[in-house]
């Protein structure tokens, strides 16, 4: 494995229905074995067809429940044993949750944080150990500008992303020099199934645009990718806004 380029091995998509994750996998698919990991894994025929049409050598669907933390080590070890070395692992599962409900229902707030932060910590720690043992590999982690400075309008989801962003940043530093590369992706509002019915925010993007930036970042072995790039200076300025103004910011 060189300093640049895509790591050799299978492409593992954790969150096999993720629109962004699938677009990333489709770009990496030509000639590769792709593993789609999701709940109800028998109902992924549409996703399998898209990847097969995209040139994947083979596509396998495996059952995966991100919230079943105890299953993560055995699950990932089985993937590597059955399908070979993992080249790129795309961690793309997550939920947006219902902010209004989460403010009234602690169980819902905890469920959002469980999936968007706790489960990610478990998977990423296990993946990092597995790829360290391989001596190479790449991990894609999806953060969000919602976690750069948490807003009142979506603070439960935003707080989970803030935690994930910090964890992934530290993990990337811990992996430095091991041959394992972690790409942290900070997205803005992405127009897709997860945000259906919501008014798009300024500087919105599509899953296709995010995926293109992710694959470019993987090739370049970048540490962080903002999508779109304009969000980096925008949120540098946002951090300077007084709290009295910030708390009135919309989603």
In Å, what is the CA distance from 37 to each residue of 63, 75, 178, 234? 6, 10, 26, 35
d(CA 179, CA 138): 9
Choice among 83, 117, 155, 157 that is catalytic: 157
CB burial readout 125-162, b (16+ within 10 A) else e: ebbbebbeebebbbbbbbbbbbbbebbeebbbbbbbbb
Which of 222, 52, 37, 217 has the alpha carbon at shortest distance from 127? 37
157 is catalytic: yes
Catalytic residue annotation? 157
């Amino acid at each position: 494995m060189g300093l640049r380029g895509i790591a050799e091995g299978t492409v593992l998509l954790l969150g096999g229905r993720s629109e962004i994750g699938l677009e990333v996998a489709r770009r990496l698919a030509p000639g590769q074995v792709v593993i789609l990991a999701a709940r109800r894994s028998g109902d992924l025929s549409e996703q399998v067809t898209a990847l097969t049409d995209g040139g994947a050598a083979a596509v396998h669907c495996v059952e995966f429940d991100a919230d079943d933390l105890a299953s993560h080590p055995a699950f990932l070890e089985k993937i590597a044993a059955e399908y070979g070395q993992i080249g790129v692992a795309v961690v793309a599962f997550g939920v947006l949750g219902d902010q209004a409900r989460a403010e009234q229902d602690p169980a819902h707030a905890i469920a959002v944080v469980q999936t968007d932060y706790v489960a990610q910590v478990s998977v990423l720690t296990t993946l990092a150990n597995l790829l360290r043992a391989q001596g190479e590999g790449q991990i894609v982690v999806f953060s969000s500008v919602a976690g750069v400075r948490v807003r009142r309008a979506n603070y439960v989801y935003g707080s989970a992303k803030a935690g994930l962003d910090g964890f992934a940043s530290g993990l990337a530093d811990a992996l430095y020099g091991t041959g394992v590369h972690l790409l942290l992706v900070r997205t803005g509002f992405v127009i897709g199934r997860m945000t259906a019915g919501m008014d798009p925010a300024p500087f919105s993007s599509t899953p296709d645009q995010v995926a293109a930036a992710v694959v470019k970042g993987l090739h370049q072995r970048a540490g962080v990718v903002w999508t779109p790039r304009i969000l980096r200076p925008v949120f540098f300025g946002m951090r300077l806004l007084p709290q009295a103004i910030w708390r009135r910011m919309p989603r």
